[in-house]
Amino acid sequence: MFDHAAYDRLKARFARIATLSEAGAMLGWDAAALMPPGGAVARGDQLAVLAGVAHALVTAPEVAEDLDAAEVAAEGAGTAGDPWEAANLRLMRREHARATALPADLVEAEARANSACEKIWREARAAADFSMVAPSLKIVLGLVRERAAALSERLGLSPYDALMDLYQPGMLTADVQGLFDRYETFLATALPRVEERQRKSPPPIRLSGNFPADTQETLCRRLAERAGLDFNHARLDRSLHPFCSGTPSDVRITMRYDESDPVQAMMAVLHETGHALYERGLPDAWARQPVGAASGMAAHESQSLILEMQACRSDPFLGWLSTELVSVFNGAGPAWAPSNLARLWRRVERGFIRVDADEMTYPAHVIMRFRLEQAMVRGALSVDDLPGAWAEELNRLLGIVPPDDSRGCLQDIHWYEGMFGYFPAYTLGAMAAAQLMAAARAAVPELDRALAKGDLAPLTHWLHAHVHAHGSRLDFNELLTEATGRKLDPAAFEAHLTSRYLS
């Protein structure tokens, strides 16, 4: 333990900062799920003030003094120091370095601009008209570039790496580019082979009928509970875009429902439940401390994708789910058979929408965004030219061109909320999920037998012990190395896709 008053003061301060962040998360959830449109301006002000107060707390002069003093005490403790305490102090220093690189007025300006742009984006997306939101996005991008430049100078990273470091520390552009180049090569040969294989197989039969939203919601709640989500500490609500937010003790999931097709909501709730279980499984002893948070967004995405893609689209689980769906929706006939559900829900198809993409083409959507946002951050791509660049890059990767802006550069909320550098986490998470699933199957021989009974507990218990409980004591590659024996290796993802789609 660090026997030093400075460290105790830091813990108290960072707990207050985390509590402000929790309040901001709840305001953000409310804005997406419940807030009337007329509340947007006031909500933007509220979020900006919270961001400003949190920034002032972390950048106060006494924080630097306490960090210096605590680090001296830590060095004196030597090998007797607690690794959790040491990691917490290291992460405090990291947060302080990032925060002190940014002027307070920039932090508040970004919060206001992001809130205003996100509201206009919703209207522009509905109208499929990028020109409606382009002026606001220019403001957001200008502020993002200011932030990137300031962080770059302080952290000794490139501007884009400084942005990406916020979402997945330790992964740099060069690392990601190498992984993505390898996957693009894999996709170029694997995708045509899968498409040819599908042409020779019976086409999937769509589930027909009416699937009331309320019935879907009840089923989604049951699936989340089956995965282990405790609704004494969680809510399931509705919004335009499914997401998971809140706090470890008060998780908020939102869904959208299509009454002609229950698939999207079912798989989306399993995806978001993976995020929720990670938050719920974080170490209670380190709540509201930097070390008690998740180990980055790629780690977070691995938890959602191992549940949705690896486990719940597997043959064993689909066998159980088929019976469940027949019971809930009074289904009958070959459309409800597990083999058809597999063809239906694991169909590989070149499409325009990232969130609807299959697991083989999904990385192409991420690779495209990774390249476009880098170009925007360094000034090589203007906002006005974004729709055309989007169409050109999607055509190069998947051979298709979006017919309108809503199925093009308006489909995602991220850039309109100032989230540049986030997208790589999705595919890094998919690769990590495959690697973790292979390790879980090796460690838990009964895993597939449990999935065939709709029992996700053996998997989620393994994930809790090997991922959730570590918080951010370990970085992404350290976490994977401890759980699987090696750092991120795309070979596991390629092997998974080859086994599922080409064998």
Give me the phi and psi of 370, to 5 degrees please. Answer: -55, -45
Q: Which residues pair with residue 253 across a beta bridge?
A: 236, 244
Calpha distance 220→321 (Å, rounded): 12
How far apart (Å, rounded) are the C-alpha atoms in residues 309 and 267? 8
Which residue is catalytic, options 108, 110, 272, 373? 272
Alpha-carbon span 355 to 401, nearest angstrom = 17
Q: Which two tokens stand for residue 356?
A: 């609807």
Is residue 309 within 8 A of residue 362, CB to CB? The reply is no
The C-alpha atoms of residue 225 and residue 393 are separated, in whole angstroms, by 40
Query: Cβ contacts of residue 297 below 8 Å, gap of 6+?
Result: 167, 168, 422, 425, 429
CA-wise closest residue to 360 among 190, 232, 141: 190
For the question of residue 272 being annotated catalytic, the response is yes
- Estimate to the nearest angstrom the gap between the alpha carbon of 124 and the chain centroid: 24
Token pair listed for 443: 């460690």
In whole angstroms, what is the distance from residue 245 CA to residue 248 CA?
9
Distance CA 102, CA 111 (A): 13
Q: Give the catalytic positions in this structure.
A: 272
